[in-house]
Chain A
């Protein structure tokens, strides 16, 4: 989370880390990085009633990594019912057919960019940084595709909700371009 804060500072955006509902509701933009394991993270959100709050947000929201997965309908990780912005069920990578591809996927992979408001066309084919064992399959919300074991959603969009499976805050200049764009939405 500190790295997201640092990345925002580098692009000149003010931010605070908070779980305070009023503060979140009043923010211009909300970034939802999500940390750790899905069921634990989801339990924290429901206990603090943040799941309902996030669902009702009208300002631009950006989920990152587990944040993307928690914005989906469910996750295989801990059989978790998630927030459900995207009607997508998150699955675990299965490398039985391709044992040489390790799980988690860790490192830099490319994105194929579809027309959308967050990731500019010039970033098509760029490398971004991933660390994950679970993925969102392709869907009508997919705005960027990455291939690891099979093609899956590297980024999603629906209404005011955006989400990236990769870490823009760790993806060098490409990530900074995406974060800047998000701040301009």
Chain B
């Protein structure tokens, strides 16, 4: 059976992981490639690297990092942050990324999703959507969640699918950082609405939250950052727990 995926997300600025890492073995802190490799060895199913650099120099460093990830990590990985053109995508795929995620740029120029899908295949394009529940209505935000848009979550997610996105990565800004669990109701609605896989993000603080998002949210994958970076949840324990509770997860049988 197809396994539910666990995806650690790494924010990268000027070539280093930004959110603090609190591993016992501190030599892993900072280098996104080392950290990614460690997660992969622990059983992460995919990785996401988000470039939060603004400068041109930082962007070049990011492409170099992508190349090093591709050379050292043997599971699929997605890269995102500031991707606005086919040329950007080409550079990252040539460096070895498997997928790219587009967010603000796709909201402002939806045609970008069609173009990525046509050039490189649907599976390459992940539509990342940040949304917040405003009086019962899920509104999309851009620029890292700072600027509200006129787009609504469900309508935009569906359009992204129709334009050729291979997956939707939905972050609930209301839940993000609060650690009280994922936005399971909205995630379940996305699951019912879409034919493509849904990656849930934002709000995870405990193993039970993953169970909840897979069971009641019916998410295909769940993404988290700090619970992994700060060692609050270890991936092997999490997978053991999910398997014990009837969720199909990939366990590493042979090393």
Contact = CB atoms under 8 A, between A and B. Distances in A.
Interface of A: 2-3, 6-7, 9-10, 36-37, 101-110, 122-123, 125-127, 129, 131, 147-148, 167, 169-177
Given A102-B196, A171-B74, A3 B96 contact: yes
A6 to B, nearest CB: 5
A114 to B, nearest CB: 18
Contacts of A129: 75-76
Contact of A126 (B5, B123, B253): B253
Contacts of B151: none
A106 B196 CA distance: 9
Contacts of B252: 127, 172-173
Given A6-B96, A173-B252, A107 B2 contact: yes
Contacts of A125: 253
Contact of A109 (B2, B74, B123, B254): B2
B3 A106 contact: no
Contacts of A10: 71-72, 74
Nearest to A7: B74
Contacts of B255: 173
Nearest to A95: B195
Interface string B69-104: 011101110000000000000000111101000000
Interface residues of B, number: 33
Nearest to B5: A107
B254 A173 contact: yes
Nearest to B40: A172
Given A3-B98, A173-B254, A108 B2 contact: yes
A104 B1 contact: no
B2 to A, nearest CB: 5
B12 to A, nearest CB: 19
20 contacts: A2-B96, A3-B98, A7-B74, A10-B71, A36-B121, A102-B197, A107-B2, A107-B5, A107-B220, A108-B3, A108-B45, A123-B253, A126-B254, A129-B75, A131-B123, A170-B76, A170-B98, A171-B74, A172-B252, A173-B252
Nearest to A170: B76
B221 A107 contact: yes
A147 B1 CA distance: 6
Contacts of A126: 253-254
